[in-house]
Amino acid sequence: MSIVLAGGAGFIGCKLVAHFLGLGQHVLVLDNLCRGKQEYIQDLQPQAHVHFVNIDLANTEKTLQTIRDFHAKYPVQAVWHMAANSDIPAGIADANVDLNDTFMTTFSLLQAMKALGLKNLAFASSSAVYGDHGPTCKLHENIGPLLPISNYGAMKLASEALISAAAESWLQGAWLFRFPNVVGVPATHGVILDFIRKLRATPGELQVLGNGTQQKAYLHVEDLVEAMLFIVAHAKEKVNVFNIGPEDAGCTVAQIASETVAKVQPSAAIRYGEEPRGWVGDVPKFLYSVEKLAALGWKPRHSSLETVRRAVAEIAGQEAD
Amino acid sequence: MSIVLAGGAGFIGCKLVAHFLGLGQHVLVLDNLCRGKQEYIQDLQPQAHVHFVNIDLANTEKTLQTIRDFHAKYPVQAVWHMAANSDIPAGIADANVDLNDTFMTTFSLLQAMKALGLKNLAFASSSAVYGDHGPTCKLHENIGPLLPISNYGAMKLASEALISAAAESWLQGAWLFRFPNVVGVPATHGVILDFIRKLRATPGELQVLGNGTQQKAYLHVEDLVEAMLFIVAHAKEKVNVFNIGPEDAGCTVAQIASETVAKVQPSAAIRYGEEPRGWVGDVPKFLYSVEKLAALGWKPRHSSLETVRRAVAEIAGQEAD
């Protein structure tokens, strides 16, 4: 049996590739290498089980053809779709970015799966589908309306919707993971990496976008992978929607800034902007419910702050190499 | 001032064109005439204020160019987007149908509006965004998760999401109307029209898809237009999401069949299928909440059954012509 891993050369995808290789499976890694890197998967063993194709998944024809060829040799058990644009401001500046990389990737994969009779799909959705419900509303899976404030969030919600419709007519199992902020290595983007790179460029000070009060839930990539695999193993509805995250209310950008400065450049001054948001499309503060996941039986072992501390050390190590 | 009316040659769109002409406005009617017909707008007065363009709105470049030319002569005040594929089974059979006609139409219109600085958008969404929450769950605007069961519903939700994201960065006002089943003339599709045409083809009997217990809320197109205009006039959030419908729980397919037979072919026998659904993607029974709209100040004056009775008479007249 084998797995198709869209976005498999990315930060999260490469961890899943390693997991499935460990189970003895062949893995078809589909990635446009926009953020992902081949080096993230080139040392994984057995390398003969890693089948990498550099592909634009918005290309429906080519996606079908590539999966068809692989499926003929290694019958595909499930598709894991972790591919997306991860640069939210870029997607707001040009809606085509999230249309192609975040939504059409889903459309193409579904078209290919339908044509080939592949019936199980695990999908990386996002807390961004909720939009801004204010700092006191707990975001659990059964609230609405869903009014995303970025094209990234919009195209994640659009993808969920299309997967849900497919489950009504031909898809047998769908697992929609609504991710929090995920940190760890290999870091390709995100606030910690940005801070570390800024501190290397300007060691004396760290300029922070926004006033530092933005608060978010952080999960380590290894905990995230564990949670996803747990959900697929235990959630048996046709369409399974789960928030994944830590149990706390998150930590602030100011806390991340101070952890990063303490680790990387203790003498640097931290300077904040005045806006409560870092950029358009950034939800300033929200409470994320992971009660549904806890009821299923999985709980995170680390707080947001512990996770951030671990990731700062890991990413500082990555950037020092 | 003027209005852009996407889908303006359709069943609902043409009523809005008439309304805006009555206010003295010029109207740019954009329609691919897939379901709409030019005859629906050719007698509207003053005809010199009706600017019709046959266009595939999935074509982003052409959409921008067409609206730009019109806007240069008649400054556009608002865009009303009523264009969509309305054949739900066709969209399930081929996902490209709803991708192009229901979603990419929204994408293109938003791209054009952003480029031209047009900041007000009224959008025909649908109760189909909710998916199937069972017969006892009241579908109000703040429930979730939204798991549509047709590509039509999925691409309506995707459109809502994209509009919501645009409102965060450049759109000033968005009105998202979640339509019930809408009936009246000129009928282009729907269960009443299907029944009347079947009865003309086979006068002795009416074969109904499904077991007749499917129950839905019906609103007359004239009430719908009144409700939409009321919402735009009174709802002043940046993004305004409103269910529109009657206050009752709807009427059944069996009731519609018997009303239609009584009017058109009283001697015909009605035969039912066995399935609780008429087709894949059809939500069998749901309770639709219109309390938010009532709180805003608009209430429908007719029940679903009264509306169906009126529409049966109107559509029978249309088909007799």
Q: Give the number of A-B residue pairs with CB atoms closer than 8 Å.
A: 124
Q: Which of A259, A258, A277, A278 is nearest to A269 (CA)?
A: A258
Residue of A nearest to B150 (CA): A165
Provide, as residue numbers in chain B, all residues whose Cβ is less than 8 Å from the Cβ of A167: 147, 149
pLDDT, tens digit (0-9, with 9 covering 90-100), for A29-40: 999 999 999 999
In this predicted model, what pLDDT tens digit does every residue of A5-17 receive, in sequence order?
Answer: 999 999 999 999 9
Average pLDDT, chain A: 95
Give the number of C-alpha atoms closer than 13 A to the C-alpha of residue B280, restricted to the C-beta side.
16
Q: Choose from A64, A157, A242 for mutation: most chain B CBs within 10 A.
A: A157
Q: Consecutive 10-residue runs of chain B (321 residues): their mean pLDDT?
A: 97 98 98 96 98 98 98 98 93 95 98 98 97 92 96 98 97 97 94 95 93 91 98 98 95 95 96 82 83 97 96 96 76
Residue range A249-266: average pLDDT?
A: 95
Q: 10 Å Cβ neighbour count for A188?
A: 16
CB contact under 8 A, A107 and B129: no
Q: Which pLDDT tens digit goes with each residue over B166-196?
A: 999 999 999 999 999 999 999 998 999 999 9
Residues of A in Cβ contact (< 8 Å) with B149: 164-165, 167-168
- Name beta bridge partners: B285: B215
Nearest chain B residue to A142, by CA:
B144
pLDDT of A285: 78
For chain B, report the end-to-end CA distance as a whole number of angstroms: 37
Mean predicted confidence (pLDDT) in A172-194? 95
Report the 10 Å Cβ neighbour count for A271.
11
B98 membership: H or E segment, kind and range: helix B95-98
B99, B151, B164: residue with CB nearest A131: B164
Q: CB of B289 within 8 A of CB of B244?
A: no
- Whether B68 and B61 have beta carbons less than 8 Å apart is answered as no
B154: nearest CA partner in chain A: A161
Q: Which of A302, A304, A12 lies closest to A185 in space, CA to CA?
A: A12
Measured CA to CA, the distance from residue B39 to residue B222 in angstroms comes to 19
Do the chains contact at A111 and B131, CB–CB below 8 Å?
no
Cβ–Cβ of A161/B143 closer than 8 Å? Answer: no
B142: nearest CA in chain A?
Answer: A144
Q: What gap in Å lies between CA A20 and CA A17, rounded to an integer?
A: 5
Is A154 in contact with B131 (Cβ distance < 8 A)? no
| CB atoms B145 and A141 under 8 Å | yes
Q: How far apart are CA A241 and CA A76, in angstroms?
A: 23
Q: Do A147 and B161 touch (CB under 8 A)?
A: yes
ipTM of the complex, rounded to two decimals: 0.94
pLDDT band at A280 (very low <50, low <70, confident <90, very high): confident
Q: Is the pLDDT of residue A135 over 90?
A: no
pTM: 0.95
pLDDT in tens, A232-252: 999 999 999 999 999 998 999
Distance CA(B115)–CA(B112), nearest Å, equals: 5
Whether residue A300 is preceded by a cis peptide bond, meaning omega within 30 degrees of 0, is: no
Please name the residues in contact with A236: beta carbons below 8 A apart, sequence gap of 6 or more.
Answer: none
Q: In 3D, which of B72, B80, B65 has the Cα closest to residue B17?
A: B80
A155 φ/ψ angles, rounded to the nearest 5 degrees = -80, -20
Q: How far is B166 from chain A (nearest CA, A)?
A: 7
Quote the CA–CA distance of B249 and B252 in Å, as a whole number: 10
The 10s digit of each residue's pLDDT in B133-147 is 988 899 999 999 999
Give the DSSP H or E segment for A53. Answer: strand A50-54
Residues 6+ apart with CB under 8 A from A233: none
**Taking Cα atoms as reference points, which of B306, B318, B100, B106 lies closest to residue B223?**
B306
Which two three-digit tokens encode residue B31? Answer: 């329609």
Q: How far apart, in whole angstroms, are the C-alpha atoms of residue A76 and residue A289?
A: 33
Per-window interface: B 259-318 vs A, CB < 8 A = 280-281
A277 has a pLDDT exceeding 90: no
Residue showing tokens 């109107």: B314
Phi-psi region of A149 (alpha: psi -120 to 50; beta: other; left: phi over 0): alpha
- Distance between CA atoms of B59 and B31, rounded to whole angstroms? 12
In chain B, residues with a C-beta closer than 8 Å to the C-beta of A88 are none
Q: What value, to the nearest 5°, has the Cα angle with vertex A248 and ends A242 and A254? A: 120
Do the chains contact at B95 and A162, CB–CB below 8 Å? Answer: yes
Cα–Cα dist A195/A201, whole Å:
10
Interface of B with A in 77-96 (CB under 8 A): 92, 95
Choose from A88, A92, A159, A168 for mutation: most chain B CBs within 10 A: A168
